[in-house]
Amino acid sequence: MSPEPALLEVRGLKVHFRGRHRSLLRPPEVVHAVDGVDFEIARGRTLALVGESGSGKTSAALAVMRLVPVTAGTIRLGGEVLSAYEGGALRRARRRLQIIFQDPYSSLNPRQRAGEIVRAPLELMRIGTREEREARAAGLFRAVGLRPEQRWLFPHQFSGGQRQRINIARALASSPELVVCDEPVSALDVAIRAQILNLLSRLQTELKLTYLFISHDMAVVEHICDEVAVMYLGQIVERAPRRAFFAHPLHPYSVALMSAVPTVRGGRVRATQRIRLVGDPPSPIDLPAGCRFAGRCPAATEHCRVETPLLREVTPAHWVRCHLVSGPNDAPLAATGTVRPHNASPA
């Protein structure tokens, strides 16, 4: 989908978790967190995985990091089959990819000084001498907008935004090629979010980083990403370049997500036009037949409820998983919100 060579390539990724075993006469329940996902990210670019809670976006990201077991599929990082690595080979490959966690408070050890936290990956991976690690930590503090002397402070002595800067510095310690950003600004104040997003953008340019960005905030995604992949119940339902997606989302779920984005100008009018989805997503244990979104989609037909749609390229680089979309003018729900579920009410 992109002319640049892919750094990360994911094919047929599945992450299933074994659930409760209710009876000896029945097989154990299986949670289909990620259920056959394909995507790639070109070097130096940002792909955003978006969707509501439970869509599988974080499980997909953790699978890429090899922090949860991969049930099926292939993960390639720069030509290396990362999904096949175990033990020492996996530890060596971890130099090439790191993660920035969502919560800047719980992701830092309160008993370690900030400098120790940033040096920890270097020490675990046995990168450089002690002096080189210390110099690297000081340089990373400068790179993320902190003073080198702040390395001696403990996490509780920093603000939330500063703690996330420490998280970013730690993620960059081993000079990774790929950085997974798991909702890195969702726990921060609005004023601080812009600072962290601008920092991530600057570091990407300076260090030629590649980001897999996980978020449910469409405004944040529009600011930082090059491409968007929308997930629903373990599957990608739409995938497109940023401009094409935000100008004209095609899948009904994507349109509903976009209609919920708050705006300052015309906010009251936008609120009355919001597309409200009825009900919750189906259980990832007992998946429905046909389209997984059909039970909440106001445009669904009987065909949608029976036959599973494929992810198809309806325009160049724009992929949609919907029976009702075969071209750029086929969006089942208008982005203006003129079509809503029958029992929806204005906001």
Q: Are residues 188 and 292 in the same domain?
A: no
- pLDDT recorded at residue 344: 34
Q: Are residues 297 and 325 in the same domain?
A: yes
Query: 62 lies in a domain?
Result: yes
Query: 158 lies in a domain?
Result: yes
pLDDT of the chain, 347 residues: tens digit per residue:
445 679 999 999 999 998 776 666 677 789 999 999 999 999 999 999 999 888 999 999 999 999 999 999 999 999 899 999 999 999 999 999 999 998 888 899 999 999 999 999 999 999 999 999 999 999 999 999 999 999 999 999 999 999 999 999 999 999 999 999 999 998 888 889 999 999 999 999 999 999 999 998 888 999 899 999 999 999 999 999 999 999 899 999 998 888 776 654 444 454 445 677 777 788 888 888 999 999 888 888 999 999 999 999 999 999 999 999 887 777 777 543 433 333 333 33
- pLDDT recorded at residue 54: 87
Q: Are residues 243 and 265 in the same domain?
A: no
> Among 223, 247, 271, which residue terminates a domain?
247
Q: Are residues 260 and 159 in the same domain?
A: no
Long-range (24+ apart) CB contacts under 8 A made by 157-163 are 158/114, 159/192, 160/104, 160/105, 160/187, 160/188, 160/189, 160/192, 161/104, 161/188, 161/189, 161/192, 161/195, 161/196, 163/104, 163/105, 163/108
Neighbours of 289 (CB within 10 A): 10
Task: Report the predicted TM-score, pTM, of the whole model to 2 decimal places.
Answer: 0.88
Q: How many domains does the chain have?
A: 2
Query: 175 lies in a domain?
Result: yes
